[in-house]
Amino acid sequence: VFQEMAKAECHFINGTEKVRYVERYFYNRLQYVMYDSDVGHFVGFTPFGEKVARYWNSDPVFMEVRRAAVDTFCRHNYEVSTP
């Protein structure tokens, strides 16, 4: 059975002062592409992932949504995700 999965994570360091957003994509339990807000763009880990990363990095609207995810996804939900 072939399966694709995406996972988004927020890492909070010192409350909301330093926030890191990571978005990872897997196919058959192998990570093929990842976005890290500290890096600022997608990075491919397989030949297919490198093509996907180049395509996504070339789309300015798509990348702006990813860069804004630190505020819209992580900081916005900080109180919900912390005990």
Write down all domains in the chain, each with its CATH number in brackets: 4-81 (3.10.320.10)
Q: What is the pTM of this model?
A: 0.85
List C-alpha distances in Å: 46 to 27, 37, 76. 11, 20, 33
Please compute the mean of the pLDDT values over residues 59-80 and round it to a whole number.
88
The Cα 20–Cα 58 span in angstroms is 22
The Cα 41–Cα 22 span in angstroms is 10
**4-36 per-position pLDDT tens digit:** 999 999 988 887 788 899 999 999 999 999 999
The Cα 13–Cα 17 span in angstroms is 7
pLDDT at 40 over 90: yes
pLDDT at 82 over 70: no
